[in-house]
């Protein structure tokens, strides 16, 4: 593993003082449980895999991205900066960057996870990248972690715009999760028009409500429905605040 880890150091552009930190960062829980099958101490098992590092990496990444966005876009509103940050720290963006780094080639996964294509799973790639960022943070401090984030996110940061970062479906899911509600479901309820000029109607349903959106594709109809749902939720929250006051 040490030879592979040395290659990974070159890919991310950071030399570790404590190399086992990086080894742990690329170790999935499936590998840890498989290689320590007789270990009864759950705490010792956790010490062999990267979930706790993911937790820290998420916060370090969020701070580094927020700082970069603020410095690069001092005139943008908080709302626009938030949209851009949501996009940059999303699972999709993290997985894309991890793939560009060939990070999947260095992840230690169990045989079962390997068979199901674990190295290519977006969530696993995104989580591992966060763990690597945390490992750099613990090894070299925030300045080193920030430099890593700036380097590997350079292209995404350069391309980021408020308009290009709007993902209403993700925002709706995160809004509902913040209120302890389950994620919404999307259902195509109708289609109209000929194949070359079709309109799709999609209904978004969550625990406390439902709305419908339309678009020239299922994805655009889902986005419209999610946007309408966010507006509905905000209106309901505003009404509650007024009632309390």
pLDDT digits (tens, 9 = 90+) for 92-117: 899 999 999 999 999 988 888 888 88
Q: What percent of the chain has pLDDT over 90?
A: 51
Give the mean pLDDT of 206-233. 90
- State residue 201 phi and psi, 5-degree precision: -115, 120
Q: What percent of the chain has pLDDT over 70?
A: 93
| Residue 64 predicted with pLDDT over 90 | yes
User: Residue 185: which CATH number?
Assistant: 3.30.160.20
Provide the pLDDT confidence category of residue 30 given band limits of 50, 70 and 90: confident
Provide the pLDDT confidence category of residue 119 given band limits of 50, 70 and 90: confident
User: What's the confidence (pLDDT) of residue 33?
Assistant: 72
Strands (E), the chain: 185-192, 199-206, 209-215
Give the mean pLDDT of 195-219. 91
Upper half-sphere CA count for residue 241 (Cβ side, 13 Å): 6
- State residue 183 phi and psi, 5-degree precision: -65, 150
58 is catalytic: yes
User: What's the confidence (pLDDT) of residue 153?
Assistant: 97
User: What's the confidence (pLDDT) of residue 149?
Assistant: 98
Cβ–Cβ under 8 Å, residues 202 and 222: yes
User: Residue 60: which CATH number?
Assistant: 1.10.1520.10
Element of type H or E holding 107: none
- 40 and 161 together in one domain: yes
- 97 and 85 together in one domain: yes
Give the mean pLDDT of 150-160. 95
Domain total of the chain = 2
Tokens matching residue 62 = 């969020």
- 155 and 200 together in one domain: no
- 198 and 95 together in one domain: no
- 81 and 202 together in one domain: no
| Residue 164 predicted with pLDDT over 80 | no
For residue 28, give every residue at least 6 positions away whose Cβ sits within 8 Å of its Cβ, in sequence order, or none.
49, 50, 107, 108, 109, 110, 113, 118, 124, 128
State which residues form the domain around 237.
168-244
What mean pLDDT, rounded, does the chain reach?
Answer: 88
Q: Which of 155, 144, 141 is nearest to 101 (CA)?
A: 155
| Residue 205 predicted with pLDDT over 70 | yes
Q: CA-to-CA distance for 44 and 52, rounded, in angstroms?
A: 12
Number of Cβ within 10 Å of residue 171's Cβ equals 17
Q: Is the dihedral of CA 106, 108, 114, 117 positive or negative?
A: negative
9 is catalytic: no
Q: Which of 194, 193, 218, 191 is nearest to 204 (CA)?
A: 218
Active-site residue, from 23, 54, 113, 130: 130
Give the mean pLDDT of 146-164. 93
Active-site residue, from 58, 113, 139, 222: 58
User: What's the confidence (pLDDT) of residue 245?
Assistant: 59
């Amino acid at each position: 593993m040490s030879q592979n880890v040395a290659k990974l150091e070159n890919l991310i552009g950071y030399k570790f003082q404590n190399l086992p930190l990086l080894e742990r960062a690329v170790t999935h829980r499936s590998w840890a449980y498989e290689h320590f099958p007789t270990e009864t101490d759950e705490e010792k098992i956790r010490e062999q895999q990267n979930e706790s590092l993911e937790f820290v990496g998420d916060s370090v990444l969020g701070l580094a991205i927020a700082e970069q966005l603020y410095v690069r876009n001092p005139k943008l509103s908080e709302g626009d900066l938030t949209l851009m940050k949501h996009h940059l720290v999303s699972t999709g963006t993290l997985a894309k960057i991890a793939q560009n780094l060939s990070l999947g080639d260095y992840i230690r996964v169990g045989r079962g996870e390997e068979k199901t294509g674990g190295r290519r799973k977006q969530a696993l790639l995104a989580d591992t990248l966060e763990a690597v960022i945390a490992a750099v943070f613990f090894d070299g401090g925030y300045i080193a972690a920030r430099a890593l984030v700036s380097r590997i996110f350079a292209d995404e940061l350069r391309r980021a715009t408020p308009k290009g970062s709007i993902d209403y479906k993700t925002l709706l899911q995160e809004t509902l999760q913040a209120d302890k509600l389950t994620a919404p479901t999307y259902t195509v309820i109708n289609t109209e028009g000929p194949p070359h000029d079709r309109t799709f109607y999609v209904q978004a349903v969550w625990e406390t409500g439902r709305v419908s959106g339309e678009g020239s594709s299922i994805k655009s109809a889902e986005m419209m429905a999610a946007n309408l749902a966010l507006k509905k939720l905000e209106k309901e929250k505003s009404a509650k605040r007024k009632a309390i006051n």
